Structure 1
Amino acid sequence: MAEVCARAARLRGRAERVRLGEVTVRDLCRYAIAVGDDEYAAAARAAAAAGRPVVAPPMFLTSILSWQDGPPEGELRPDGLGAQESPCTEGLPVRQVHGGQAVRLLAAVAAGMTIHAERSLTGADRKRGRAGDFVVLGLRTEYFDGSGTPLAVSDESVIVLGDADEA
């Protein structure tokens, strides 16, 4: 766990801004169907066919773990995450679980918008529990449209678990 904290100290406060891409009606419908909102998907397709704007479900942006195709299965970590979703832990014998998320929705997202995200590590707290040491990483992701208008902010925690002697 000491190595996770050392890596976090080097990354803390450093923001990485990436262009995620353009939101499509197909993306929104896939998300809606995945969360069981078939009615939204049908209404979105009808709105798009009629030339009306299609506004995303509120949690769409913050629910997407990765906007890339994803790594091949052989490149996934033992906990199922890709390297991009695993800050401070590459090559370490640890696993991660999501600890929680607080989301602020600032503006509507619609199909056709180009989305950018800025992600930063906000903290790393080493703790001790019954099963041993663990680290709680704080992550912030801010989402913007192509003109820089803030859309949403997500503050989340990731719990890094492992054997203190190994990490």
Structure 2
Amino acid sequence: MAAAVDLAERRARALIGRVERRSLGVVRAAEAAEFARAAGETSPRLVDPDDAGFVVHPMYVVSLLRGAPGPGDEELRPDGMYRDEVPGTDGLDVGLMAGGQDVRWLAGVRPGDRIEVRRTLTAVERKGRGTGFLLLTVEKTYGTAERGALAEVTERFIVR
């Protein structure tokens, strides 16, 4: 594992500052409502697209990793994560864990919004003793061409 973590560190450091963009498709009210129900919400304004006051749950957009129809098997790691979700780790036998997330909402997401995410790896830190682990920091901005940024997210990933 130590060699894999070392390789992941070299790969990740080479990616620092590189901006990636991905279309996440159009926000569909029915899918946003299903997300809210799965999150335990019961308010009609979050779970009923026919409700006059319907709004998209704030966490829905930051939960999106891909647009419909979702991933093919070739896009996933054996542990179920996307192969490219944690920079520098594709194809390596490393353990991955979420290391925290900070979200700043700038505007509400609306049904019909065509969402694009911009992602940049901003930091790679070696932590712990011995081989230790990596802490990768990724900045994401979710937005639309028409309305600009909707949410800014800082995510951290632990690589062991």
Same fold, judged at TM 0.5 (above)? yes
CA deviation after TM superposition for structure 1 residue 44, in Å: 3.1
Whether contact under 8 Å (1:108, 1:151) holds in the other structure is yes
CA deviations on 1:6-44 (whole Å, 9 max, x unpaired) are 111211011111221110111211111110113347753
Whether contact under 8 Å (1:134, 1:159) holds in the other structure is yes
Whether contact under 8 Å (1:29, 1:40) holds in the other structure is no
Structure 2 counterpart of 1:96: 96
Structure 2 counterpart of 1:12: 16
Provide the aligned C-alpha RMSD in A: 2.1
Whether contact under 8 Å (2:36, 2:47) holds in the other structure is no
CA deviation after TM superposition for structure 1 residue 148, in Å: 5.2
Q: What TM-score do the two structures reach when normalised by structure 1? A: 0.82
Q: Secondary structure at the match of 1:94?
A: coil
Whether contact under 8 Å (2:46, 2:57) holds in the other structure is no
Q: What TM-score do the two structures reach when normalised by structure 2? A: 0.86
**Paired amino acid for 1:145:** T
Whether contact under 8 Å (2:45, 2:54) holds in the other structure is no
Q: Which deviates further from its counterpart, 88-97 or 74-83? A: 74-83
**Paired amino acid for 1:108:** G
Give the 3 Å change call, closer, same or farther, for CA 28–40 of structure 1 in structure 2. Answer: farther
CA deviation after TM superposition for structure 1 residue 124, in Å: 0.7
Whether contact under 8 Å (2:123, 2:137) holds in the other structure is yes
Structure 2 counterpart of 1:145: 144
- Which aligned runs of 4 or more in structure 1 are off by greater than 6 angstroms? none
Structure 1 counterpart of 2:58: 58
CA–CA separation in structure 1 for the residues paired with 2:77 and 2:47: 38
**Paired amino acid for 1:139:** V
CA deviation after TM superposition for structure 1 residue 86, in Å: 2.9
- Aligned partner of 1:32 among 21, 29, 36: 36
Equivalent positions of 1:18-167 (< 5 A) are 18-40=22-44, 44-47=48-51, 52=52, 54-68=54-68, 69-72=70-73, 76-129=76-129, 132-147=131-146, 149-161=148-160
Q: Secondary structure at the match of 1:83?
A: coil
**Paired amino acid for 2:144:** D
**Paired amino acid for 1:90:** D
CA–CA separation in structure 2 for the residues paired with 1:53 and 1:39: 10
CA–CA separation in structure 2 for the residues paired with 1:75 and 1:152: 25
